[in-house]
Structure formats: structure tokens, C-alpha cells
Amino acid sequence: MHEYSIVQAMFDQIEAQAQARHAIAVKRVFVRIGRSAGVDVRLLKTAYDTFRVRTICDDAPLEVDEVPEVWTCPDGHGDIVPGGKLTCETCGRPARMASGDEIILERLELEVP
């Protein structure tokens, strides 16, 4: 379950951002996770809820935005419809995943003095 290590890395980033802004608490955490990132969102939320106790995130719920895969032509001919052959109809080049595999700490709501 690498979700626990992802949460630990996320807490490291959150604490650094909160400290840099002299925050006394985190009120909400927003994360963007691609559906192909290999993360079980349910397990990630469980890990977050487990580890946030007695931290700066103690009262901060985790909001997760799941992002679908988007495939594009590497030569700029546009998006490629998933579910079919992942090649560009115009140039025949293999598609490139433009989004859907990311894990991003998107935004924090902080309480500052």
C-alpha cells in the first residue's frame, strides 16, 4: 500500500507550506489524482485520516479530484479519443498521455494569524 507513503510525502509538503506562511492550522486539503496514477483513492483517504490526527491537518478534510486520462498527438493534432487505438488519425504517431497519471497537492486552505 504505497498510499501511506504518498500521504507521508503530502504531509511533508503541507507542513513546509504551512510553516512558510506562518499558518497555525490547515483547514482543507485539495489533491488532484489521475485515474491512471495507480492510487486507490479510498485507501489514500483512509491513510490521510489516520495520519492527520494531532498534526496541523487535524481538522482539515481531504478533497480529491479524480482526473480522467487525456491522450494527445505529440505533434499537436489534438486529443485522441480513449477506448480505441491510441494513435493520431492525422499523422499515425502513438498518443501521449497529457493527463490522468498525476498526483498533485493542488491547494491548501490555511489559517494564519
Neighbours of 47 (CB within 10 A): 21
Q: Is 27 inside any structural domain?
A: yes
Closest CA to 62 of 20, 4, 105: 105
Q: Is residue 74 part of a domain?
A: no
Per the domain annotation, does 106 fall within a domain? yes
Domain assignment of residue 17, given as a range: 3-66+100-111
Q: pLDDT in tens for each of the 113 residues of the chain? A: 589 999 999 999 999 999 999 999 999 999 999 999 999 999 999 999 999 999 999 999 999 999 999 999 999 898 887 777 888 888 989 999 999 999 999 999 999 98
CATH number of the domain encompassing residue 38? 3.30.2320.50
pLDDT at 66: 96
With respect to residue 25, please indicate whether it lies within any of the assigned structural domains. yes
Instruction: Output the pTM of the full model.
Output: 0.84
**pLDDT for the residue 1:** 57
Residue 53 resides in a domain? yes
Q: Total domain count for the chain? A: 1
Is 94 part of any domain?
Answer: no
Task: Count CA atoms within 13 Å of residue 12 on its CB side.
Answer: 6
Q: In this structure, which amino acid lies at residue 60?
A: A
Evaluate whether residue 77 is within a structural domain. Answer: no
